[in-house]
Structure 1
Amino acid sequence: MRTPPPQVRALRGLLSALIATLASFAAVVALVAAAPPAQADTTICEPFGTTTIQGRYVVQNNRWGSSATQCVTATDSGFRVAQADGSVPTNGAPKSYPSVFNGCHYTTCSPGTSLPARLNTVSSAPSSISYGFVGDAVYNASYDIWLDPTPRTDGVNQTEIMIWFNRVGPIQPIGSPVGTATVGGRTWEVWSGGNGSNDVLSFVAPSAISSWSFDVMDFVRATVARGLAGNDWYLTSVQAGFEPWQNGAGLAVNSFSSTVQTGTGPGPDPDPDPGEPGEAACQVSYGTNVWQNGFTADVTVTNTGTAPVDGWRLAFTLPSGQRISNAWNASVTPSSGAVTATGVAHNARIAPGGSLSFGFQGTHGGTFAEPDGFRLNDAACTTA
């Protein structure tokens, strides 16, 4: 084989280097073209404007209580309040509820959501949140969880659960305080009332919570136990954001997640039977001391199952004419009718085979009778 002259060999080397360079450049161009474009932040100033993040949640400006400008900027993982002009009186409703949600709210549904979902088909609804707070505003940082007897995807649902992670300023939930409750392993101040359109049950943290992962169904079940919803109702949306009364720029949901797991898991049963597998088993002993127009009751609750009962709630109905005046070793609310006793800090758990006692004093009229139909965390109990 003949050897090419030096000039030809040099030209061939130059051409090979040029081809390699062009191939590398083409590969880089292909990678750039294949990579998904970064999502630019989206700012919304329309009162009820929305946008989608992560392909699964809806961010809403939701300015309904003021005509002053409010803008939210949706990010890849949450949103921040970019502008929050104006203020409203702190003894009334807030200006707005800028928020992010999974589910359906006023005809807007988040992509791919499994909501509305019937409560007795939901085994768990894990959610997590990370908040960014500011100090120059009056607001709460709160979840808004909506329940309705029907799988409604528009308008106002019948029961609203609020979880106040933080409150700044002289503001309070709708209604009045009705005691405390241990839900999700935390102690909350509980408020109950209505706003003219729906019932509201609020769980207020005693100090600020900036981030938390929890099961939304813990609060739903606590609401069912208080008679404000039924196990055959529907969970329609899980929302997280802020209710500002004054200012609010800089408030942020840094991250949010919400999933709803449905199927044949350990969801609440609309007609629980303590003999069914997986249901809590319990026995109640109800002892009384009765005198004219008055009585005391000593209640012993025994966990006859094999698993501990955390955050216990004993629901029963007082006969007509009976009213509770005070209680010990438990919070019992309301004072008459369908009542629920809940554990306090030192007795919030009933171990397997264990028991606890609480009591209350009350008044009665006419012939005295004892309640029946005791239910421990939504499971029917036998009586001793």
Structure 2
Amino acid sequence: MDEEERDGDARPAMKRRPTVYQVAEKAGVSIATVSRALRGDGSVAAATRQRVLDAAEELAREQDEAATGGRRRPTVYQVAEKAGVSIATVSRALRDDGAVTAKTRQRVLDAVAELNWSPSRTAMALAGVANDTVAIVFPDLSGPYYANVIAGFESEVVDRGSAVMVLATHGRAASAQMVRDLSTRVDGLVIMDQTIPDKVVGEIAADVPVVLLARPSLPGVASVRTENADSAHKITRHVLGHARRRLRFLGDPDLSPDVRDRWLGFVRAHEDFELPAPEPLRAEGLAPEHGYDAALPILTDNGVDAIVCANDELASGVYRAAAEAGRSIPDEVAVTGWDDVNIALHLSPRLTTVRQPLRSLGATAGRLLFGQMESGTAQGEVLVTEMVIRESCGCEDVPPFYEFPTG
């Protein structure tokens, strides 16, 4: 049994607690209405809000009874009645958010103690979720890729009146638990790349709306990614069309699904030319220093005449390595990138690359997330990428939307 399975088995409560989907279904409203009702949004009618609260409490009570063999425990209604306050005031008093006077809060605490009541994890989690906040989870935050995705996501979210939380897992052993905990405090979650295992994604998606970003889709989970394999096929064919025959792909296909698809496009282009595709240069990451470290040995040995990079930052490291090795770009070594971030225009010669709509990627993730919160429907989208020809492949500078014929 692997670590994630043990971790999952050790947390059965995550699977037992009612979800926002169940509350919405029982109350006959949308997930977004549940969120607005639980945070006391004035746009929800009093009768609707009460119906949501009733549904949440009834579901919590049913599951508590199932877990305790049918024994009934005191309810939040009884606490509110004994303290002479509303259910919302009980919630605010327990959160101690400053909106309740000290005298009222003490009255609530006295009622809690007298009834020996403890708020269900479900009720508290639902209250935490309903805070008009959504989150996006990344494996890392270094580099312009993440900044552009965050900018697009934030613009979509802020326009809808919500706040954004950003979490970077950085490969920590506790990443799965970090994301689980975060999911109980937000209205919805975007999870990028392979930050957590599919099994954990499924568990979280059963509780709150989830959108996968730059990651293969899972059944019943919304997703958005960009097209990779076809554009990698095109740009590799373009380089081969310049009569380059000693190409290397720079990037580790095991690092992410996107890099893997770009590698597959590289291989397919070689098959078109009836050439064997050499093994990839497995850089340790996607930063400039990783490109430099991986490229310098083969450039020094004059073993390549073109390097197809998994992103623009790796390509910038190749430029430095080529300069140290005394190799001219593009006369001796053609170089291509991916993303078309700002650095692609400032390298000399300017970098031939594949443009990803990074801000649109983030904005689409936000739109899909809110769409799922409103309708409960998980949708998937694949965004178009396009080859941008500049000078680093050996071409004269041409219009940015030029595409080399692939037939």
For Structure 1 versus Structure 2, the TM-score category normalised by the shorter chain is under 0.3
Structure with greater strand share of residues: 1
TM-score, scaled relative to structure 2: 0.22
TM-score, scaled relative to structure 1: 0.23
Q: Which structure has the bigger radius of gyration?
A: 1
Structure with greater helix share of residues: 2
